[in-house]
Amino acid sequence: MTTPAPAAAPKSMDAIMALCKRRGFIYQASEIYGGINGFWDYGPLGAQLKKNLRDAWWQDMIMNPCWGKKGPNGDRVRCVPVETCIIQHPKVWEASGHIGGFNDPMVDDRETKGRFRADHLQGVWTGPAHHDSKADAAAVAAEDPGDIGTSGRGLIPECTVVASTSGEALQLLCEDRKLQKSLRIREIATAARVGDARALVVVKLDDGKWRHGVIEAVPMDQLKREFNAMPSPFTGKKTVLTEPKQFNLMFISYTGAVFSEDNKVYLRPETAQGVFVQFKNVADTTRVKMPFGIGNTGRSFRNEVTPRNFTFRSREFEQAELEFFCHPDESVAWYKFWRDFRMEWWKSIGLAGDNLILREHDKDELSHYSQGTSDVEYRFPFTAPGFGELEGIAHRGNYDLTQHQKVSGAKLEYFDTTRGEILPNGGKKGERYLPHCIEPAAGLDRGALALICEAYTVDPSRPSPEIMKFHPRVAPIKAAVFPLVDKDGMPEVADKLSDEINARFGRYGFIETDAKQSIGKRYARMDEAGCPYCFTIDGDTLTNQTVTCRDRDSGQQTRIAIDQVSTFLTEKIGQ
């Protein structure tokens, strides 16, 4: 597993969101009506970015799995696609455990009617000691006060905030003045180091005194036991929270004209179950042999109570999941293979820095049926210095096929003619078994968000300081062709070159052409949009058939022959 490097200063999520709106990457859904929380629409550049990400996944996971690599069995990896419905038979979700077990513990604020996930409650824990100044409090906090916090003396936190990590909680408390006021905090700051589970802080409360303490999660057992004494994350008041209760995350709908229990259906919370229920059909109607994968992309829905952090936690999102079926004896080797390849794949499309890690789950984190799970995690600005899940690679055993076979009554075993004892004629007797499944499950919305966050770069020395350094494979604009001036035959040459490039690369992204404003402003617009290469038609083009090629990342300009532009892009973009 990879060890996370020290975090650099986090990028501004507000600046990233502003650029996404300004340049047409992501918009609030139903914005003209005030928006709807947990739902986001993609603009022209965002839609193409996400399509490029989806296409890259489809190509590298289904059409040419693992770039043609051989798997643990020595053969090329084989995968096929399906496309399954958003609405499945309700018994699918009964068999999968989603109806009975797809729940999060929720807590209500009886006064504000607000609701939050109980396992996302972070507390600001301080001791009775106070200090005359921030410096004095920071000096004590820097010594890592081990007697403060949940591991100490059974304290109740001074205030609470809804966040998945201590780093996210600290960022919210430091930046949101309205939240500070509602929680009766005058000032809060990092006192020393910050980790995923604990942030050392100094805080000035309404009494005007400085205290040192920590931000860390409120233990579930303590929240259940002392919910009435716990301060609300919305108002800071005590005695207003309810005991944690389970809340099912699936959206409910109805088929037909009658809204009754008999016609109740669910919007799928994941794409995987559609693959499992079609496993036998795929095995019977194609020539794939064990081991093989079935891939699926599409929309899923989860009624998140507290959607947050831009598109990271949404109620409607898109997944790209592969269910890879194999013999039980080979499953551990395939799990390790897919775990390592998925990490390598994310690196190949631009997430190759210190912000990406591979984390193996501890045994107490595993689902009851899982024999191993790893997460590819990315350090988003809102999780820094911690990480947020980008993709999970899970060894699911044969749990899903077993459940669907049991509930449906259908026989889902696979008959493997390559196994079993050798017969007198030299053939194999064959073996019938329920395959084990390895599941690399990626979120395309989270993937697109990670690409946006990683690409966002500020360079004050540039005319336009904001640059989106997308990997060329996923960049929504592949190239731009500009006439230096809108006369002297340059626009005509630019249009011709643009048409030639578009015929070759247009299927992978936009080819821009623009004659308005100064060339510097046009370059700046392309930098913000993430276009890797710009080609300018100038006076020399008309005499010696060369163009100026500008590199987005370095800003450097070189001359190349106009008839070599397509070859140049093929080499640089790799498509």
Q: Which tens digits make up the pLDDT trace of 423-454? A: 888 788 899 999 999 999 999 999 999 999 99
Tell which of 247, 281, 300 closes a domain: 247
pLDDT score of 2 more than 60:
no
Instruction: Give a yes or no: residue 8 inside a domain.
Output: no
Residues 362 and 438 both lie in one domain: yes
pLDDT beyond 90 at 141: no
Q: What pairing do the DSSP bridges indicate for beta strands 546-551 and 557-561?
A: antiparallel
Do 338 and 483 lie in a common domain? no
Where is pLDDT greater, at 185 or 50? 50
Sheet holding 210-217, edge to edge: 159-162, 121-126, 210-217, 199-205, 185-194
- Statement to judge: residues 260 and 302 lie in one domain: yes
Domain shared by 450 and 466, yes or no = no
Same domain, 426 and 473: no
Position 433 in a domain: yes
Do residue 87 and residue 144 come from a single domain?
no
Domain boundary among 401, 419, 454: 454
Contacts of 173 (CB under 8 A, 6+ apart): 124, 161, 179, 180, 183, 185, 188, 215
Same domain, 270 and 400: yes
The pLDDT value recorded for residue 150 is 52
Q: Do 343 and 280 fall within a single domain?
A: yes
- Tell me which of 424, 454, 484 is where a domain ends: 454
**pLDDT tens for each residue of 340-363:** 999 999 999 999 889 999 999 887
Same domain, 234 and 373: no
pLDDT of residue 440: 98
Domain membership of residue 7 (yes or no) is no
Angstrom CA distances, 529 to 43, 457, 467, 532, 533, stand at 12, 12, 8, 9, 11
pLDDT at residue 149 is higher than 60: no
- How are beta strands 533-537 and 477-483 bridged, if at all? parallel
Report the alpha-carbon distance of residue 38 to residue 16 in Å, rounded.
Answer: 18
Same-domain pairing of 449 and 466: no
- Considering the domain boundaries, does residue 438 fall inside one? yes
* Range in 137-151, 331-345, 515-529 with the lowest mean pLDDT: 137-151
DSSP 63: I
Compare 189 and 294 and report the one with higher pLDDT. 294
CATH code, domain carrying 74: 3.30.930.10
Q: Within a domain: residue 556?
A: yes
Q: Could you tell me which of 179, 149, 177, 150 has the C-alpha nearest to residue 162?
A: 179
* Number of domains into which the chain is organized: 3
**What is the pairing mode between strands 388-397 and 436-443?**
antiparallel
Of the given ranges (144-148, 200-204, 406-410), which has the lowest mean pLDDT? 144-148
Cα distance from N-terminal residue to C-terminal residue, the chain: 31
Residue span of the structural domain in which 528 resides: 462-573
Q: Are residues 109 and 179 in the same domain?
A: yes
Q: Is there a domain that residue 6 lies in?
A: no
Is residue 256 within 8 A of residue 263, CB to CB? The reply is yes
Task: Spell out the residues 6+ positions from residue 194 whose beta carbon is closer than 8 angstroms to its own.
Answer: 166, 167, 170, 200, 385
Tell me, yes or no, whether 338 lies in a domain: yes
Q: What is the pTM of this model?
A: 0.85
The domain spanning residue 492 has which CATH number?
3.40.50.800
Name the pairing type of β-strands 115-117 and 466-468.
Answer: unpaired
For residue 409, how many other CB atoms are within 10 A of its CB? 7
Does some domain include residue 76? yes
DSSP label at residue 434: P
Assess whether 354 and 486 both reside in one domain: no
pLDDT band for 153, please (50, 70, 90 cuts): low
Tokens of 344: 């390598």
- 152: pLDDT strictly greater than 70: no
Between the CA of residue 122 and those of 211, 221, 308, 352, 423, what are the distances in Å? 17, 14, 15, 31, 64
pLDDT of residue 471: 96
